Structure 1
Amino acid sequence: MDFTSALYLGLDHPSRTLAPWGQFTLGTPAVLEAPPGTVETAQALAELVGCERGMVARSTLHLFWDVFGGLGGRGQALYWDEGSYPVAQWGVERAAARGVPARNFPHHSPGALARLLARESRQGRRPVVVCDGWCPGCGALAPLDAYLEVVRAHGGLLILDDTQALGVFGVPEPGLPYGTGGGGSLRRFGLQGPDILWCGSLAKAFGVPMAVMAGGAKVVARYEELSETRVHCSPPSVADLHAAERAVAINLREGDVLREELARRVGHFRGRLRQAGLSAVGGLFPVQRLQFPPGVDPRKVHERLSQREIRTVLQRSRCGPEVSVSFILTARHRAAELDQAVEVLVEAVHGRHPGRTRHE
């Protein structure tokens, strides 16, 4: 049983389900000619997440290379949540190497950010604040509304990596644990504005290895003009774009149904953990980071699960315990699989030999 895949909604896009294409790639950089459907797909994704305009790229690494490379050295300063995903931090490092002042602040702490910006406001630089929408480590949404309030008080820009939340969270709706629409964190909080730059990969819930940047029309146009990866790197392939089109269509047609199914699976898993005397961080988000009793070594638990052919993630958290074991759930997992996995997990936690049953 596999609990390592982040295809939360179970979308995998077999070739037979995609529209056909005459060329896999055009052989030209996007600055000369974008593959067919690029503009339409970027716009559909921008509207999904609640922004005016979008721009696609092969990955968030490509996007952040452009975003942070385009920051001005003297006019702006970077402030990043210390729990941010490493790819965003690589972008911060690129900006810092170009002379942009960069400081981190405590994870999910708008108060610390406010105090930091207040101290440095006399330097006259525009603050650019970087954070993730959802943190799998502590299992919580970032306080985006509070972050944005601080950013706006100083005339700054909020850069959001929303890869985890895209396709899972959406507009709050009674009876729907994740909300409706799957547009991500901005939709969850009801936030929008030209001082937000949204970035995210479709490789999780939507199952497509490409990324999109979205925001106000002017700011996206600026980064599109400054983009180095549009000149020196390949754009998403035609196949990627067709998969993205399919993912957006499925999300519109049956995304809320898939998210309800996912929530049931996560709820079932957490219920079985409680019955077994165990627990996990993550709420109803599909990444469930296990919490073990004192003295239990997560590495040994992971190894024992592997011996029973149950694949889990040995996770080094940026904001939690140094090492932990996580189960990643999808809408395709069956209740019987989850029941069996928890039974084996209990044996692994208590150090029983992988070949023995509970009655031996």
Structure 2
Amino acid sequence: MNDENLADPSFRMDSPIGARMRIDGREVSYFSGTSYHTLHGAPAVIEAAIAALRTYGLGPGTHAKMAIYAETEALVCQHFGCEKAVSVASGYLSIMALLLALSDDYDVAFADERSHFSVRDALRCVERPVVWFRHCDPQDLSDQLKRHLKPGQKPVVVTDGVFPITGALAPVDHLVELLKAYPGGLLCIDDSHGVGVLGTSGRGTLEHFGVEGSGTFCAGTLSKAFGGFGGIVPVSRVLAEKIAAKAGVIPGASWPPVPAVAAAGAGLRLFRDDPTMLQALRTNLKHMRDGLSSLGLSIPETPVPIFSVQAPTNLKRVYSRLREKDMVVKYVAADGYSDAPPVETLRIAIFSSHSRAQIDDLVAALKICL
């Protein structure tokens, strides 16, 4: 097979998302994307979206009240244990809304150099000095804080909670510890890949590290683990008012469409009522990690459902061979995304709905193809 004939890493979905689904007309084992519990394809989620569409249409066409928005917000508040859950048009904009609301509370932003595009765009909007620290490197952050903060200035540290391509987990416990030396210092994370996945109850990276509380904030999404669409910022009533007053994206952008909001609510209920989802995900993660380790690959010990496979071979060719075996992972070119490494990689996503046999088959195929 010549390089110019390698399969295009894009594809056409022909069915709802699932551990088994149809892509380009073929039934495949799906190890890509971000639907970590495949709730986007759950019948109850789909039916909730259809019922809401019939009741309300696509949306209010303004910021008029509809019961479905309040119902889903209540479910988000219940999940995160917060007073308010601010709804944002997209998860991409959640971190922007949060940083704008807090902009009077910090003087300099310190951000991980491989933070998501959402973080980079948010920091441009905030109009505060930005200092970039080395990826997941608390020591470099410490050095940058000492170098760039003037007496009396307050920092905000901004990072992804879980980095989307490599699955790297931000060292949030160390970041919080560093901020103790700076009274009023804040930590804000874009936790789009952490909520619904990390922590005892699935509240995300902050819960995983046991640092929920004063001075730590997360921005998230309903479009990944929870099977819907739209951004969320779980906060206090006071901060919710500040977000509404200072983040123009709240009054200026339409809310997420009604069917997506209803779908998210249904996904949250399913997640709440079935604690085996998180357990199944973690069981599958361990099985996948053990399998990849058996191939001699270096796999970090984290509870993140993303594996980054790098090897001294043509990984685009490996991707194509897996496709021929009806297994779909994600091929990422060197530096091909916000946190992509400087070498090509295969991103493998694990779902709570994958079977043990599917994982075994993927490991066996990788053993042949790598």
The aligned counterpart of 1:357 is none
Other structure's SS at 1:339 match: helix
- Tell whether the 8 Å contact from 2:293 to 2:299 is kept in structure 1 after alignment: no
Q: 2:169 is matched with which residue?
A: 141
User: 2:67 aligns to what SS in structure 1?
Assistant: coil
- Tell me the equivalent position of 1:314: 331
From 164, 174, 186, give the equivalent of 2:193: 164
| Cα contact 2:159–2:190 (8 A) shared by 1 | yes
Q: Distance in 1 between matches of 2:105 and 2:77?
A: 30
What CA distance in whole angstroms lies between the structure 1 residues aligned with 2:172 and 2:145? 16
Residue in 2 that maps onto 1:174: none
Sequence identity (%): 25
**How big is the shift at 1:74?**
11
* Alignment partner of 1:286 is 2:286: no
Name 1:35's counterpart in structure 2.
66
Question: Which one of 278, 282, 297 corresponds to residue 263 of structure 1?
Answer: 282
Quote the residue 1:191 is aligned against: 211
Q: 1:89 aligns with which of 113, 120, 129?
A: 120
Distance 1:232 1:73 in 2: 21
Residue-by-residue CA offset, 1:246-303 (whole Å, 9 max, x unaligned): 122112211x3012222222333333334444454564422121242xx312222122
Q: Relative to structure 1, is the Cα distance of residues 75 and 132 closer, same or farther in structure 2, using a 3 angstrom cutoff?
A: closer
Work out the CA distance in 1 between the residues paired with 2:47 and 2:175. Answer: 44
Which position in structure 1 is the counterpart of 2:144?
A: 116
How far did residue 228 of structure 1 move? 1.7
SS of the residue corresponding to residue 203 of structure 2 reads: coil
- Whole-angstrom CA distance in 2 between matches of 1:275 and 1:157: 41
Note closer, same or farther for the CA distance 1:113–1:29 as it changes in structure 2 (3 Å cut).
Answer: farther
> Structure 2 vs 1, CA of residues 281 and 148 (structure 1 numbering), >3 Å: closer, same or farther?
closer
| Residue 242 (structure 2) pairs with residue 213 (structure 1) | no
Which of the residues 207, 217, 232 maps onto 2:252? 232
Distance 1:26 1:139 in 2: 35
- Distance, in Å, in 2 between the alignment partners of 1:208 and 1:196 is 25
Which one-letter code corresponds to 1:333 in the other structure? H
**Matching residue within 320, 331, 342 for 1:303:** 320
Partner of 1:200: 220
* Deviation per residue, 1:98-142 (Å, 9 max, x gap): x42111111222232222222233264432211111234554432
Determine if the alignment matches structure 1 residue 103 to structure 2 residue 131.
yes
CA distance in 2, matches of 1:264, 1:135: 21
Structure 1 contact 78–128 (Cα < 8 Å) conserved: yes
**Unaligned runs of at least 5 residues, structure 2:** 1-28
Q: Distance in 2 between matches of 1:345 and 1:190?
A: 36
1:11 paired with 2:39, answer yes
SS at match of 1:122: coil
Question: Relative to structure 2, which stretch is displaced further, 38-47 or 338-347?
Answer: 38-47
C-alpha contact (below 8 Å) 1:35/1:237 kept by paired residues: no
The answer as to 2:271 corresponding to 1:242 is no
Contact 2:244 2:251 in 1 (8 A): no
Report if the CA contact (8 A) 2:99-2:122 is conserved.
Answer: yes
Say what the alpha-carbon RMSD is for the aligned residues. 2.7
1:152–1:282: structure 2 CA closer, same or farther, 3 Å change rule?
Answer: same
- Cα distance in 1 between the residues matched to 2:217 and 2:153: 18
Match of 2:4 in 1: none
| Matching residue's letter, 2:280 | E
Long gaps (5+) in structure 1: 171-179, 350-360
Q: Is the 8 A contact 1:82 1:107 kept in 2?
A: yes
CA distance, structure 1, for counterparts of residue 347 and residue 301 of structure 2: 10
Q: Which position in structure 2 is the counterpart of 1:342?
A: 363
Q: Deviations over 1:135-162 (max 9, x none)?
A: 3455443222322233343212221111
* 1:44 alignment partner AA: L
* Distance in 2 separating the partners of 1:347 and 1:123: 58
| Aligned residues of 2:101 and 2:242 also touching (Cα < 8 A) | no
**How do residues 20-31 of structure 1 correspond to structure 2 at under 5 angstroms?**
20-21=51-52, 22-30=55-63
Q: For 1:225 and 1:49, locate their aligned partners in 2 and report how far apart those are by CA, in whole Å.
A: 23
| Preserved contact between residue 9 and residue 258 of structure 1 (Cα < 8 Å) | yes
Q: CA 1:219–1:194 in 2, change beyond 3 Å: closer, same or farther?
A: farther
1:332 to 346, 353, 356: 353
d(CA) in 2 for partners of 1:72, 1:167:
28
